[in-house]
Amino acid sequence: MRERIIDLTYTMYGGMPVFPGDPPVSMEFCHTIDSAGFNVTQLTMPTHAGTHLDAPLHFLQDGKPVDALDLSACAGEAHLLDFTHRGNSLDEMTVEDFLRYDAVIRPGARLVVRTGWDRVFPSPAFFTEMPGISVDAARFLAERRIALIGLDMPSVHAKEYQVVHEILLGAGIVIVEWLTNLAAIETSPFYFVALPLKLQGRDGSPVRAVAIERA
C-alpha cells in the first residue's frame, strides 16, 4: 500500500501575522553553538497562532482544556467538503451547503472544509474578512454530533465568532483552524491527524496537521 502525506500546516516564524490583539510570535536563540556548544530556541506564542486546535475552554468557562480532550477526535477518517463557492470575503456557509454532504455528516464524523481562504494569508483581511459558518449551520453540526471540523480560515466566523464557537465547542466538537494546502488532497475520505500539545489546563494548542492518502 502506498501512502502520501500532505502537510496542511502553516510554517511558524517569528513576527508572523496573528489575530489583532494577540501577543506576537517570537523565536529567539537562547543558546547557540558558539555560546554553549548547542542551539536552543525560546519560543513565545499565543495558543491560537498558526495552525491550531480549539478546546472547549477557549470559549466555555467550564469547558474541557486541551489536555483533557479525547484524542480519537483528532485522528482518523475525515471527509473533505468543497466550499470554494463560499471562499469570498464575509461569505457564510449555510445549512443548505452542508446538506450537500448529508451522507457523511454523521455522529463522530471528522469534516475538513475547504474554502480557499488560505490564499489571502498574510494579508490583514485574512483575519477580518474571512468566510464563516452561519449560526444555523453551527447548530446543525452540533445536532449531528460530529467529532471535529477543520477549516482553512483562522476562525469560525469574522463577526459571529463567539456564538459559533460556543455552539460547536458546547457540543464537544473539536475545531481545527488555519489549515492550508487543502487543494492538494486528492481523495475523500482520507486519514486526518491534528494532535495538540499536552498543555495542562489550556484553551488550545498548535498542531501539525496532515492528511494521509492511502492507495
Distance CA 34, CA 156 (A): 45
What is the per-residue burial (b if ≥16 Cβ within 10 Å, else e) of 179-191? bbbbeebeebebb
> Which residue in 148, 72, 85, 139 sits closest to 111, CA to CA?
148
Please enumerate in sequence order all residues whose Cβ is within 8 A of that of 140, keeping only pairs 6 or more positions apart, or say none: 95, 98
Cβ 140 vs Cβ 106: under 8 Å: no
Identified catalytic residue from 48, 52, 58, 79: 58
Burial label, 212 (beta-carbon count in 10 A; 0-12, 13-18, 19+):
middle
Annotation marks residue 58 as catalytic: yes
123: DSSP letter: S
Report, as residue numbers or ranges, the catalytic residues: 58
